[in-house]
Chain A
Amino acid sequence: MRVAIAEDSAILRDGLAQLLTDRGHEVVAAVPDADGLRAAVEHDPPDVCVVDIRMPPSFTDEGLRAAIALRHSHPQVGVLVFSQYVETRYAAELLAGSTRGVGYLLKDRVADVREFVEALTRVAGGGTALDPEVVAQLLGASRKTDTLASLTPREHEVLTLMAEGLSNAGIAGKLVVTERAVEKHVANILLKLDLPPSDTENRRVLAVLRYLES
């Protein structure tokens, strides 16, 4: 996997590069700002970019702007937004349109190296990786409280993991159940939310997110 990193904190940038290199991935660019990232992607598009939201010069949301721009200009490049905070509005902007090759994770998640690399791989492969916190906020902001309340606790868990972008196998691994059981839960959830069954995880995430937003 070829990765570009945009992160203004040198410690974190070097740490990320080190972590990814150790795991056999290639870090093609490690830059401290959004302009550097744009230049690097123009020059040599990677499989996936890791982008911090707050970067110089204004330290507000230039990373997010760059990420959204990249998703339009280079749809084949996965974008993982990596931030100290999760904001509902940012998530909505990032996920507007499609959920192909996009992720939004809290910086904390790098502490669990394996899960972090899995999420990054998923985004590089065109999948989705949403932080549990993002999903919790989308659920919290959703007006479909009545339907959501009709889900069993287990179904709620499965819905959350589905929205995070996990495959059935991934969900089964997390909940320590068989894939068959997960399939059954997913079918029930789609039925209760009145969503069409979909073949790929990507479409499934999109459907769930649109459902929560509407």
Chain B
Amino acid sequence: MIDTSDVWQAEPAMTDRRPVRTFFTALLTRQAWAELLYAIILLPMGVFGFSLTVTTLTFSGGLMITFVGLPLLAGTGLLSRYLGQRWRAGANRLLGWDVPAPPPFRAKPGLLGWLSSCLRDGTAWRARLYLALQLPLGIASSVAAAFFVSYGIGALTYGIWYRWLPCNTDPRTHVCHHAAALWNEHYIETTPAILLTALAGLVIIFLAPWIVRGVLAIDRITMRALLGPSWTSSRVEELEQTRAQAVDDSAATLRRIERDLHDGTQARLVALAMNVGLAKEKLAEGGDPSEAAALLERAHTTAKDAIAEVRDLARGIHPPVLDAGLDAALATLCAHSAVPVELRTRLSVRPSPSIETIAYFCAAELITNVAKHSGARRAVLDATTTGSRLRLSVFDDGRGGAQLGGGTGLSGLTDRVRTVDGRLTVDSPAGGPTTVTVDLPLAPLQGDSPRNSLQEGQH
């Protein structure tokens, strides 16, 4: 999904916690004047863009029977793309918008390759559409700007210029009024009426920047959809990023397992074999049986340590109880926690195995964080399925202040969760309490049934 939520946020220059003050000072900001300027030049640009699109399309279409038709269509597509991008960059600079750039045009080799790349370039086609849509957008924005500004100024200064108005004869009394009339009967010529008009003008002037901004918000959404990267290319970029993270993550895990096996388990097994070997020699030589017993005692301890170590290692790779369900695995996890954790699960559907694994390790990490950093006295782990999502949240009554990337491993978790299109949010005001929520799909490739989509995805 393209995130459009930020479109509706006020610009930083005008953002303020005091809404009344923000309303009245908007007019004085550079932003407001830039928007006014943009709203006005959008009209001529719209006329140009619309004509360009319509002309090039009809012209190329008409020439389609000759050999110039297709190259012309391709070339003007590139031109539209170029103009659209210049316009996008200009708007970003002038208005402080952040419409991202689409991936650059890449042509296949050869003339035919170039031609087909041009014709199949979605960005160029979307740019054409944007240029054409600029006309209605430009009309709307410039009309809004012109109307509000001229009427505002006009009404404000009405008291000065109304007396030079031409004679406005009342059809009923045939009296000549040098004043404007509302509904053809109320003549604005008394002092209170003039003051009221000036006040109305003032309100309109203060309202103008907000109206213009509202109209431009439509332009911004259109621009984001038509001049920004397409949904597919944003998605590709996101997938490339998360795939790289997943690969790094698994490589790091393998390295850690290798190190644990090598430094821990293997070393213990070597020591075990050595002690048993020594004891065997002692007994074979007919030496002191108590020395052999001591060696065997040491070997015994080492063997038991190695068993415990391998168990922890295996559990760290994949806890077997996950096969019995996420709730069973979380129960053991909570029972092991140093801080008392209350477990609440409402899992009406079983997530796919990979999601269960990710959810389990997230829970493990979050509970460890609670014990290590929060100073909490109690915590609650909640796992709930709603619709096609699994929501995991860990609440604690600790000191709060947890942040993404605060060295608490939360950013690592975020990366891991992102590989399956999940999300991690932290709510942790200083002083607590802290709630970390992990939102995951029920299956990494969302399908009709969570359990099946994994297999479907492998076709």
Contact = CB atoms under 8 A, between A and B. Distances in A.
B342 A143 contact: yes
A89 B336 CA distance: 13
Nearest to B303: A111
Contact of A87 (B300, B311, B331, B342): B331
A209 interface: no
Interface string A81-122: 000111111101000000000000001100100000000000
Interface in A31-78: 54, 58-61
A105 B319 CA distance: 18
Contacts of B321: 85, 87, 89-90
Interface stretch (A134-142, A180-188, A196-204): A134-142
A58 B324 CA distance: 11
Given A108-B304, A108-B307, A108-B308, A141 B324 contact: no
A24 B138 CA distance: 97
A44 to B, nearest CB: 31
Contacts of B319: 85
Contacts of B311: 84-85, 108
B323 interface: yes
A138 B303 contact: no
B323 to A, nearest CB: 4
Nearest to B338: A140
A87 B323 CA distance: 12
A111 B307 contact: yes
Interface in B301-333: 303-304, 307-308, 311, 314-315, 319-321, 323-324, 327-329, 331-332
A173 B41 CA distance: 94
Interface residues of A, number: 23
A145 interface: yes
A61 B323 contact: yes
Contact of B327 (A60, A84, A89, A108): A89
A30 to B, nearest CB: 22
Chain B contact surface mostly: helix
A136 B334 CA distance: 12
Interface centre among B303, B308, B328 (most CB of A within 10 A): B328
Q: How large, as a class, is the contact surface on chain B?
A: 20 to 34
B335 interface: yes
Contacts of B452: none
Nearest to A58: B323
A145 B340 contact: yes
A140 B337 contact: yes
Given A54-B320, A60-B324, A140-B336, A89 B304 contact: no
A97 B324 CA distance: 21
Given A107-B307, A108-B307, A88 B340 contact: no
Given A88-B332, A143-B340, A143-B342, A61 B303 contact: no
A88 B314 CA distance: 18
Interface of B: 300, 303-304, 307-308, 311, 314-315, 319-321, 323-324, 327-329, 331-332, 334-337, 340, 342
Interface of A: 54, 58-61, 84-90, 92, 107-108, 111, 136-138, 140-141, 143, 145
24 contacts: A61-B323, A84-B320, A86-B332, A87-B324, A87-B328, A87-B329, A87-B331, A87-B332, A88-B331, A89-B328, A90-B321, A90-B324, A108-B304, A108-B308, A111-B300, A111-B304, A136-B335, A137-B332, A140-B335, A140-B337, A140-B340, A141-B334, A143-B340, A143-B342
9 tightest Cβ-Cβ pairs between the two chains A and B = A89-B328, A141-B335, A137-B335, A60-B323, A140-B335, A88-B331, A88-B335, A87-B321, A89-B331
